Structure 1
């Protein structure tokens, strides 16, 4: 295990049973259907750094997020947090202490805040739930401090979520996540529902908070411009598996995996206005019936017979972790 890592995911897998009801299967003679949402994902995040997971919708990014915070239990593998087996700890009473140290910011600020609660109750809930503070002047003062730390006013605690814009609501979500003074924040596309100008404000707040508090982030996004702004390391996911993990600068300057190259080529570039862009080729295969071998081979210009038959492991090649036979054989 990487001793410098605060978070260490090892062979994480999550399988969902999405079969039709038993009677339907018997009458229609259909087999059970299993969805391999996450299939053997391993990575580590050093204290105070940010790992971004990127990939197309449905590749398993949000499932990884929910596995790390304990909302899902892994089918296989596990996660060590600060040297402790997190999923074993979550099941025991002392798991409450661990949950204080791991918090999550959700994607949709309109769905993640209770519309019937005042902001004071929303941000104060983790403080009450973890018995850090009880109702009273101290709790209100702490909620006011948390709102100020994300650029809102302490007076905002007397309002309801509908009185705020999307960006302000996401700031409230961040304040709530910070209430227990966590070490690790899992951010599931926290800016994807916001306007571009507001995205930048929220991202800058998150970077400032990371510097001030030494926070460690797992940042999930499908927006590579956002990833370039916030990440130290980037993991590229495809159909439930990591296909490339590299430092941000290395990944953007010299992507190795054909899928990473395809994603980066699709980004508009200011200097190349008017030039034809390479669109992301093909469609994501049905995750219930993934291709054999390397799951990317139907869309890959470098695929050969080995790619169709043999699944490539994630291994260190050319100084980055990459799962690709073509890279291994120096065909690209």
Structure 2
């Protein structure tokens, strides 16, 4: 197996124009308004490994997911997949082959499945679209195999999505994503809409599939307990930027960035029963008007004048990538 990372994102950025209509801007003399949803994100994922992206709502995690699968084009930066420029390839006829190798599992199993289609059509659609199988008998056989691989029965093929529970629907979504035999799966909070007991079942299925098929995952979540279960590496995002990237064990044992520490302090732990939890302090700033310097400085207990004036770079410190002046200067 190659030692080169399968996925390499370099300085990925995506800006959305959220300005009022042109006539309103002219009459009210207002400038254009740009939202920097993702602002210079870089990471790599080795084959067969899982990188988890965590952070509060609105920090740009889902936008990164859509950039990786080609649903959004980047405003800046690029994505290398297996050594080739993925976004350039997506625009060519050869891009269909690349799309077979990259698939996505969406957050809401109630919204991501067509309610008018039976399961056979939902799971079989990628097989038909990519010309992998065309005969009805072999298509049914393959859909049955995919359903069995995620813990469902081939007899479920004739049912509609409304006849399943949330956890079962998400299994159907996973079966559909696996239909093209992808190497890389982008999972956008795939268990957040499910009950805790069902979450564990779906996560175990995903872990088993990763072991059996050598899958590579980008796993997006705001639940650090889930991340601890599935990830090999963790990237912490804040307001469109990565503030810390580390191996899972290192991040949970020795978090470096003040924001990472704040998130981990908010997790209830059995050994600390009876001790009051530390809530996450403050609120995420308005992304349309972000703070100067380090975006986290209004909420940071270690902030100084440099933090409010100069944006920190993601540097390698003690074997961890971290963007923090206080960590860099040894103040924490």
RMSD between aligned residues:
0.8
| Aligned-pair CA distance for 1:3 | 6.0
- Which residue is equivalent to 2:134? 134
| Aligned-pair CA distance for 1:28 | 1.3
| Aligned-pair CA distance for 1:198 | 0.0
- Which residue is equivalent to 1:313? 313
- Contact map agreement 1:307 1:325 (CA 8 A) in 2: yes
| Aligned-pair CA distance for 1:319 | 1.3
- Whether 1:103 and 2:103 are equivalent positions in the alignment is yes
| Aligned-pair CA distance for 1:4 | 1.6
- Contact map agreement 2:3 2:46 (CA 8 A) in 1: no
Q: How does 1:219-230 map to 2 (within 5 A)?
A: 219-230=219-230
- Which residue is equivalent to 2:265? 265
- Contact map agreement 1:50 1:219 (CA 8 A) in 2: yes
- Contact map agreement 1:265 1:278 (CA 8 A) in 2: yes
- Whether 1:202 and 2:192 are equivalent positions in the alignment is no
Deviations 1:151-175 (A, max 9, x none): 0000000000000000000000000
- Which residue is equivalent to 1:164? 164
- Which residue is equivalent to 1:114? 114
Q: Secondary structure at the match of 1:236?
A: strand
The 2-side partners of 1:28 and 1:164 are apart by 51
The 1-side partners of 2:3 and 2:155 are apart by 44
The 2-side partners of 1:3 and 1:312 are apart by 30
| Aligned-pair CA distance for 1:135 | 4.1
The 1-side partners of 2:278 and 2:330 are apart by 23
The 2-side partners of 1:12 and 1:34 are apart by 16
The 2-side partners of 1:116 and 1:46 are apart by 38
- Contact map agreement 1:128 1:135 (CA 8 A) in 2: no
The 2-side partners of 1:296 and 1:303 are apart by 9
| Aligned-pair CA distance for 1:144 | 0.1
- Contact map agreement 1:244 1:322 (CA 8 A) in 2: yes
The 2-side partners of 1:250 and 1:78 are apart by 28
Moved over 6 A (4+): none
| Aligned-pair CA distance for 1:307 | 0.3
The 1-side partners of 2:59 and 2:298 are apart by 16
- Which residue is equivalent to 1:64? 64
- Contact map agreement 1:234 1:247 (CA 8 A) in 2: yes
Normalised TM-score (structure 2): 0.99
Unaligned runs of 5+ in 2: none
Deviations 1:244-270 (A, max 9, x none): 000000000000000000000000011
Normalised TM-score (structure 1): 0.99
The 2-side partners of 1:59 and 1:135 are apart by 45
- Which residue is equivalent to 1:37? 37
- Which residue is equivalent to 2:12? 12
Q: How many residues align?
A: 331
